[in-house]
Amino acid sequence: MMMNQFDVPMSDADINMTSNPAKAMLNEQLATGIENNIWGPLIGGAISLIGASKQASAARSEAEARNAATERQYEFDKEQYQMNKDKFDRDKEYQIEQIKIAAQDEGRVAAYQDARNLAQYNFQLQIRNKQQETNERMFQKSEDIYKNQMSINALAEKTARSDEYRKLEEIHTEAAFDKEAAYLDSMEAEGKLRARGVVGRSADKLAQVTAFKTGKQLTMLNLSLDNAEAATDSVLKQISKDRTVADLNAFAAKMLDPGEIPMPVQPLKTPMATFIYPPPTQEFDYGPEPVKGATFSASAATAGIWGNAIAGIAGQIGNYYSNQSQQFR
């Protein structure tokens, strides 16, 4: 078996070519040129493969890191969503409990205020009833005093009139006795004159003197009676005036009818605030559930890099053979 210069077994075509020195020389030159020119694309392809390998490794690591971060974020979002739900439920329960306590406090305050208002009303009612009772007793007492005073005034007037009439009657009686005494004195004097035997003009003069004295006494008695009657009439009029004044004073001191004291206003129920409880919890109250973020495919990321690298190497080799073919035409 024949070997070429590279210690590689030669094919029939190589052997045939070696029988022609010109072809052999041409083939040798061609092989030498190919050997010299192919190292450039091969080295460039190797460098591209190494770079592609590093890029693919970096892309894979980045994709895995992103996927891990996305997974961690998703887990965090789910945990936070659950915590927010729990917090929402707890806050709602606390809010409902606060409303219940506020409603109970409102009821207790209203009940206390109602009881206080009722006690105040009952106290005012007792005061009113006591005052009404006192006024009615005082009015009745005033009426009794007024009636008694009117009776006393009437009795005083009657007594005063009786006294005056009695005094006047005594004066009349005394005057009657005085008149009789004057008549008796006159008759006694006339009898004495006759007994003495006085006659004539002397007897007439003595009789005239006696008659004058008697007439004078009777005139004085009549005048005294007239004065007594006038004085009695004046006193009786004054008694009537005094009775009128006393009646007016009694009426002025009389208490007016107190009437009915207004009843205290009955207390109204204390108004209470209306408390509104939150509606039942719905799913939308918790907000949207967390959504897992997009993940990156490491295979797809490396496939793109390897695809670009292989395409570049293939392009370099293709350009090389294309250039060699053009040189040998």
pLDDT digits (tens, 9 = 90+) for 270-310: 998 898 888 898 888 888 888 877 555 555 555 555 555 55
Q: What's the half-sphere exposure (Cβ side, CA atoms, 13 Å) at 204? A: 2
3-state class (DSSP) for residue 11? coil
Distance CA 69, CA 81 (A): 18
3-state class (DSSP) for residue 9? strand
The reported pLDDT for the residue numbered 26 is: 44
The reported pLDDT for the residue numbered 309 is: 56
Residue with the larger pLDDT of the pair 328 and 295: 295
Q: What's the half-sphere exposure (Cβ side, CA atoms, 13 Å) at 274? A: 1
Distance CA 210, CA 204 (A): 10
Distance CA 308, CA 298 (A): 16
Distance CA 45, CA 54 (A): 14
The reported pLDDT for the residue numbered 158 is: 92
Confidence of residue 34 (pLDDT cuts 50, 70, 90): very low
Angle of helix 21-196 relative to helix 298-327, nearest 10 degrees, comes to 150
Contacts of 49 (CB under 8 A, 6+ apart): 309, 313
Range with the poorest average pLDDT among 71-80, 90-99, 142-151, 319-328? 319-328
pLDDT tens track for 202-230: 545 555 555 556 566 667 666 777 777 88
Average pLDDT over residues 297-326: 56
Residue with the larger pLDDT of the pair 317 and 83: 83
pLDDT tens track for 87-139: 989 999 999 999 999 999 999 999 999 999 999 999 999 999 999 999 999 99
Confidence of residue 3 (pLDDT cuts 50, 70, 90): very low
The reported pLDDT for the residue numbered 91 is: 92
Determine the Cα angle at 316 with ends 314 and 319, to 5°.
105
- pLDDT higher than threshold 50 for residue 1: no
Asked if 178 contacts 217 with a C-beta cutoff of 8 angstroms, the reply is yes
Distance CA 8, CA 1 (A): 10
Distance CA 75, CA 63 (A): 18
Distance CA 190, CA 12 (A): 237
Determine the Cα angle at 37 with ends 11 and 13, to 5°.
15
Identity of the residue numbered 91: D
